[in-house]
Copies of this chain bind each other. A is one copy, B any other.
């Protein structure tokens, strides 16, 4: 399946939406007639479709032909399945849309990520005429030489540090941790703690420590937590209990390694009557809808899932494939949990 024809960047539904100043959904409603659209709006959409040369039915045509082009998305089947994490759910939906925009269907499927099972899944994909594989490996080591021999193009997602000869991409977690920790310090906190994995080589741990050192403040405390909602809740209880044992507790600040963990921390603080941000300020990581709808709204580092999804699919389908690691910057989203004067 290597050496397929190049897939130039075609206009996407999103491009049309941006040019017409409407949502993606309104583009679909206009073109598919699935919901009523005001005449003036529909005209703007159709003008944008013409101007950009958007071909809305490309995916549908490929599917109707019965020989649809298809990519596989391999995700972990862990005890904490990927789709129960809203961040990855949103990432998967974005990848699906990016593939569809290029006329590809996406099969999402789970694996234990044991090396023999990953290899078996790659062979299975090849046998089923799948055109390429997106691998949500995270920190799991992959036997890239063995996978390459299967002959399918593949790219690893959610990768922090590139490996020679492997196509991969991921958010710059370290830089994100620096940005969030620095932001909390700028709110006037004399120190910033970290709630996350107990792994000093993990980029968010590294970035947190770097930011504290650069600011000349003591780093701490570090609160080890599983990166799940219950893990965050447990960490939050420990922080709240330590605080209530202190006769004159000072305001504190914590950088929390993921939105999901932070939702658990928030929950524990609500249970213990700890006010956010007045008693303890929080900044988290990912930029999922969970952070937006938490109370108070979570200041977070938004991973650029749109840009990463577009790049992952484009690189997978390029004739002239590169095998480099691509690092994406993210974006600080200010809400109320850190002390910023946001509506949230």
Contacts and interface: CB of A to CB of B under 8 A. Distances in A.
Interface in A53-87: 60, 63-68, 70, 72, 77-86
Contacts of A112: 32, 60
B86 A84 contact: yes
Given A129-B128, A295-B267, A289 B25 contact: no
Interface in A90-112: 90, 92-93, 96-97, 100, 105-110, 112
A238 interface: no
A343 to B, nearest CB: 7
A77 B89 contact: no
A123 B66 contact: yes
A32 to B, nearest CB: 7
B81 A96 contact: yes
A114 B32 contact: yes
A233 B67 CA distance: 42
A271 interface: yes
A208 B28 CA distance: 33
A83 B77 contact: no
Interface of A: 23-25, 28, 32, 60, 63-68, 70, 72, 77-86, 89-90, 92-93, 96-97, 100, 105-110, 112, 114, 116-117, 120-121, 123-124, 127-129, 229, 233, 263-264, 266-267, 270-271, 289-290, 292-293, 295-296, 343
Q: Which 10 A-B pairs have the closest CB atoms?
A: A25-B79, A81-B93, A83-B89, A107-B107, A108-B108, A63-B120, A270-B295, A128-B128, A89-B89, A66-B123
